[in-house]
Structure 1
Amino acid sequence: MQDYKLTINMFGEFSIVNEAHSLITSKAKSPQMNMLLSYLIANKETDVTKDKLIDVLWPEENSNNPSGALRNLVYRARNEMSEFFPGSQVESILLVGNTYHWNPEIECDVDIYKFEQYCNLASREENPDKRYFFNTQAHLLYKGEFLPMFRMESWVMFRSNYYGNLYTKCILSICDYLNAHEKYRDILMFCEEAINVHPLEESIHKEKINAYLKLGEVQNAMDYYYSIVDLFNQKYGLDITSTMQDIYQSILSQMPNQHVDMDELVENLKNDKNSDGSFYCNFDIFKNIYQINLRSVRRSQSKRYLLLMTLSDLNADSELTVDIRQEMDILHGLMSRCLRRNDVYTQSSFCQFSLIITVANEAGCNTVVKRLRERYTARRQHSNVKLTIDIELIM
């Protein structure tokens, strides 16, 4: 049996391989047999009753003879496994009384058990270098989610979530170590590999953005931020802007203090990279857009204006000063309280807000601008900070 050690992978595609034979999910003739084998291997230290196996293999079926169907499936699985041990009488699935279990005498190298072992070693290790080593070994083993071909099975969902959480901790620990050693390029590499197999973990995306910022690659950080916001929105229907707000502010705080003019702002807003396809958003965003349009219908004679509000420090024209940061907070709070429900605004750079207002005419727009300017001036704390408001009619 020593000559026929099995290598079993359950992360990504399920496979059993040795020198004599191989069983790979994509080439398998019986998914049900793979389910039986994978369940017994994943629970190889546990005796599994016949009733439990029947519930796992046929959860929604009411067979007249479930015990017979199970016996037949076990028989076929044993025949398949015998191919791994030519010339030997090796029983891979044992039946003792009313319970089945994987033969503990078969030498196996199973990825999920090695992965869990390395994660446990890392969590108990106090030496940073050794902890880093254990985590990198665990990282190498995680080739994808646990048994993705059976991801809708309840027992697989539970285990997949468990291993996914372990993997996230593993990657974040690796990033902590590399941050301490200022190896930011290595962080980008590990995060990229991790995202390929674990794409929905926001904390790993944040680590990648932070690495870009540590390298001074602010534009790369911003581009990547927008790409993952679009990915979550378009592919998974998730709006992550609120949970990513902290990292977005970190990016903005390192952006160069370069003002855009009204023409640039209009061009950026008109530039729709996804104009060929329909726009997809989650329900909350859809509801907000609907409500804005509904209110606009009721005011069909109204006009819409784009306002660009820029703060600049008269004492340091090209710098992001502490004074500007504080004044931006004041202006933000003012706009959140003073604007009407159908007005929309956003922070378009670290020292600028863009605002869309709906008014009856140009005089109404001037009234809004005057009110904003007066209320800001009344609350301003630094006289050296100047507010400029540019106006453009949306046509």
Structure 2
Amino acid sequence: MKENSLRVQMFSRFILEGLGGTLDEDRIRSEMLTKLLVYMIIHRDKEMTVQEICESLWPDEKSDNPAGALKNLMYRLRALIKKTWGDHAFILTGRGSYAWNPEYTLEVDAEDFDRLCQRAKAAPTEKAAAEDYGSAMALYKGMFMPKLAGEHWVASLSTYYHSQYLEAAKNRLGILEDFGEYGEMAECCREVLKLDTLDEDIHTAFVKGLMLQGKPKLAMEQYKHAVDLLYESLGIAPSEELRRVYEDLLKQTHDQEMDIAAIERELREDVESGAFLCEYGVFKKTYDLEIRRAGRLGISVYIGLITVIPRVEIPVDSPAYLGMISDGMDSLEGVLLGSLRSGDVISRYSGSQFIVLLPTCQYETAKMVMERIEMNYYNTKKKSKTRLSYSLQEMDALPRKKKGAGKNGSRRS
């Protein structure tokens, strides 16, 4: 480090160190002092007026004397700096303004991270880009100033740096895949998922990295974990890319030749009685199979869509809404598994909907099945905060002109 230089960490937590002293959030023991010090560091390249600083530190508060409040806060900060570093004066006072003392240079992890990301994008070779992305990612230890995440000037930077981190990770993963570095690819994904558990592209790359290493069992476990996590947290089905990797994984898993008895034993390993609960990609394949079978045998097949709806008006994105829907969907899953026949197929279609495939079923029977599900749901949840809405549609068995329209219906309760 240069003379009169200090090192600043802002990812995950705040630390200012160098010149024989260290300050972190535990030593500062005041959110307002931390906020002021971080603000002065971020804006150290210009002189900040008292008004600008006050509006950033107290955006929603009306004070009769904001300049006095800032002066008092600055006095406390300088006293803390003096206690830690002696006579080093990091902050200068001007006419109605404050500024960082240019005699003291700062090496800030967030700024170094951003520089490395920009350099990687302009790198002359993929190898150089991968190295710069790796160095940048090593600096990103967590979200930018998480304890100050509620401040608008922190939130915007936090969003920017996190998006840069994910972009760096995905660019590096693409290069590692091109170079055949599948082990490093999987390890990169593992580290990223510690900081962002819900990025589907990273989950996809993780499954692919494990699969390309010849570790199909681990890849399958990661795929199932990713699908369950994305359903439970975001209510979304796997993307086309994740499903494509899954299909490649299935092909790899069954490349080795086996005798028919061994294959039959493998097929029966995970067979369970009752309705079949699966992820949406498998549901689509099953749907395709049932269309062909219905056309060949001349039987009718119905699809039911069941939606969980709050009984009261509530903002859609609110925690209360999401909690109600999640609780209702968990209950509905149990009811579906207990109410449907072996051979019926169930899948989560969205965060608030299940889709059900009812083979060899007439409209009247399908309607009775939906009503039974309703009844069982309300019996299970006596004081439910949610209700069900369902609709039924007969599958078109063959891609030809229909002789008669199939029945369909819907109901809200």
- TM-score norm. by structure 1 comes to 0.67
After superposition, the C-alpha distances for 1:294-316 in whole angstroms (9 at most, x for unaligned) are 9x9xxxxxx7323179xxxxxxx
Paired residues of 2:176 and 2:185 also in contact (CA < 8 A): yes
Contact kept, 8 Å, 2:40 with 2:100, in 1: the verdict is yes
**Correspondence for 2:159:** 161
Q: Which runs of 5+ in 2 are unaligned?
A: 255-262, 278-320, 370-393, 402-413
Per the alignment, do residues 361 and 200 of structure 1 end up closer, same or farther by CA in structure 2, a change over 3 Å counting?
closer
Give the Cα separation in 1 of the matches to 2:331 and 2:398: 31
Alignment of 1:71-150 (within 5 A): 71-86=71-86, 89-150=87-148
Structure 1 unaligned blocks of 5 or more: 271-279, 297-302, 310-335, 346-353, 366-370, 380-395
Say if 2:200 is the partner of 1:202: yes
Cα distance in 2 for residues equivalent to 1:200 and 1:377: 39
Spell out, residue by residue over 1:86-123, the C-alpha distance to the aligned partner (whole angstroms, 9 max, x if none). 3xx43211233333222222032211111111111111
Partner of 1:174: 172
| 2: CA distance, partners of 1:196 / 1:292 | 29
Displacement of 1:182 in angstroms is 0.6
Aligned partner of 1:238 in structure 2 is 234
User: SS state of the match for residue 273, structure 2?
Assistant: helix
Q: Which residue of 2 aligns with 1:222?
A: 220
- Matches of 1:359 and 1:120, distance apart in 2: 60
CA distance, structure 1, for counterparts of residue 243 and residue 324 of structure 2: 22
| Structure-1 separation of matches of 2:272 and 2:323 | 26
The CA distance in 2 between the partners of 1:130 and 1:8, in whole Å, is 26
SS of 1:6 mapped into structure 2: strand
Question: Which residue does the alignment assign to 1:276?
Answer: none
Is the contact made by 1:50 and 1:98 (CA closer than 8 Å) also made in structure 2? yes
Alignment correspondent of 2:356: 344
Following superposition, the deviation at residue 248 of structure 1 comes to 2.5
Q: Which amino acid aligns with 1:126?
A: P
Q: Distance in 1 between matches of 2:41 and 2:275?
A: 55
Q: Give the drift of 1:18.
A: 2.0
| Partner SS for 1:307 | coil
Contact 2:193 2:202 in 1 (8 A): yes
Which AA in structure 1 matches 2:40? L
Post-superposition shift, 1:13? 0.8
Matched with 1:187 is 185
Q: Does 1:265 align with 2:275?
A: no
Contact preservation (8 Å) 1:11, 1:112: yes
**Contact 1:6–1:18 under 8 Å retained in 2:** yes
1:254 corresponds in structure 2 to: 249
Assess if the C-alpha contact under 8 Å between 2:274 and 2:341 holds in 1.
Answer: no
Equivalence for 2:64: 64
- The range that moved more, 245-254 or 47-56, is 245-254
Q: CA deviation at 1:220?
A: 2.3
For the residues of structure 1 that align with 2:196 and 2:270, how far apart are their CA atoms?
Answer: 41
Q: 1:239 to 1:355 in 2, by over 3 A?
A: farther
Q: Helix, strand or coil: the match of 1:23?
A: strand
- In 1, the alpha carbon distance for the partners of 2:360 and 2:80 equals 67
- Name the CA distance, whole Å, in 2 between partners of 1:288 and 1:3: 60
Equivalent position amino acid for 1:189 in 2? E
Query: Would the aligned equivalents of 1:37 and 1:77 in 2 still touch at CA under 8 Å?
Result: yes
Identify the range of structure 1 (178-187 vs 89-98) with the bigger mean alpha-carbon deviation: 89-98
Matched residues in 1 for 2:13 and 2:354: separation? 51
Aligned counterpart, 2:409: none
1:253 Cα deviation from its structure 2 partner: 4.0
| Alignment deviations for residues 271-295 of structure 1 (CA, whole Å, 9 cap, x no partner) | xxxxxxxxx977777778899999x
For the residues of structure 2 that align with 1:27 and 1:240, how far apart are their CA atoms?
43
TM-score by length of 2: 0.65
Partner in structure 1 of residue 343 of structure 2: 307
Relative to 1, partners in 2 of residues 1:15 and 1:263: Cα closer, same or farther, differing over 3 Å? closer
Q: Does 1:375 align with 2:371?
A: no
Partner SS, residue 155 of structure 1: helix
Match of 2:259 in 1: none
Q: Take 2:361 and 2:28, find their aligned partners in 1: how far apart are those partners? A: 61
Displacement, 1:206?
2.0
Are the counterparts in 2 of residues 5 and 18 from structure 1 also a CA contact under 8 Å? Answer: yes
Q: What is the RMSD of the two structures over their aligned residues, measured on CA atoms?
A: 4.1
In the alignment, the residues of structure 2 paired with residue 195 and residue 289 of structure 1 have an alpha-carbon distance, to the nearest angstrom, of: 25
Whole-angstrom distance in 2 between the partners of 1:2 and 1:84:
19
**Mapped partners of 1:187, 1:104: distance in 2:** 42
- CA contact 1:233–1:239 (8 Å) conserved in 2: yes
Letter in 2 for 1:131: A
Name the SS for the 1:266 alignment partner: coil
The 1:269/1:375 distance shift into structure 2, 3 A limit, reads: closer
Q: Would you say the 8 A contact 1:4–1:19 is kept in 2?
A: yes
Q: Count how many residue pairs are aligned between Structure 1 and Structure 2.
A: 314
| Residues in 2 aligned to 1:113 and 1:263: alpha-carbon distance in whole angstroms | 51
